[in-house]
Amino acid sequence: MNDVLKKIGELGIVPVVVLDDAKDAAPLARALCEGGLPCAEVTFRTAAAAEAIKIMTEQFPDMLIGAGTVLTTQQVDAAVAAGAKFIVSPGLNPRTVAYCVEKGIPITPGCSTPSDIEQALEQGLDVVKFFPAEAAGGLKMIKAVAAPYVNVQFMPTGGINPSNVREYLAYDRILACGGSWMVPKDLVKNGEFDKIKELTREAVQIVKESRGK
């Protein structure tokens, strides 16, 4: 496993961030860092994503910033040029995965079936995103598909929240969980970054309790 994914595993939670305005990138990054979670997956669902990644990586160089919802090799290039250290995709596009592997860029593609996982293994990956986690069967499904693939770890995302994240984190095949509950769009839009910092601290505490730290 590469160093970036090891760091993600140490943190336990990856905040999944959707930013409509790049001006919110710096205060949001500060809130996450002060809350104890210096990491973010900035989704490429909005036009502000690349600029937001650039601002975060330049102003908070110790943060681990990645790009999510990456669907094409062009988006990989844009994300990496902006400073992204890892790539996350909702599904497994063999071309995009191969492109990242060739360039040495950590990528966790979305997988929800054994066939998806085998494609990831074929590309040399040992960590996959399990998406959409709750809709695809949740922890019960992960445990079922994990059994034959003993060297694969999972990063479930989709429907993860404070009420269920502890069960996921307690399973030793979970590298980390992706979630957006500590960075809700309404708080970002309203500039309530102190509240985001508070929610982030609570998320960090959940990780500690779940993993006995």
pLDDT for the residue 213: 60
Does position 182 have pLDDT exceeding 80, yes or no? yes
Q: What is the pLDDT of residues 65-82, one digit of tens each?
A: 999 999 999 999 999 999
Tokens representing residue 68 in the block: 């999510």
Q: 104 — alpha (psi -120 to 50), left (phi > 0) or beta? A: left
Q: How confident is the prediction for the chain on average, in pLDDT?
A: 97
Q: What is the pLDDT of residues 17-54, one digit of tens each?
A: 999 999 999 999 999 999 999 999 999 999 999 999 99
CATH 3.20.20.70, domain 3-208, yes or no: yes
pLDDT for the residue 211: 84
| Burial class, 213, CB count within 10 angstroms (exposed 0-12 / middle 13-18 / buried 19+) | exposed
Q: What is the pLDDT of residues 131-166, one digit of tens each?
A: 999 999 999 999 999 999 999 999 999 999 999 999
pLDDT for the residue 39: 98
Residue pair 96/122 in contact (Cβ under 8 Å)? The answer is no
pTM: 0.96
Q: Give the residue numbers annotated as catalytic, written as ranges.
A: 41, 129
C-alpha to C-alpha distance for 48 and 58, rounded to whole angstroms: 16
**Per-domain residue ranges of the chain:** 3-208
* Total residue length of the chain: 213
Q: What is the pLDDT of residues 51-65, one digit of tens each?
A: 999 999 999 999 999
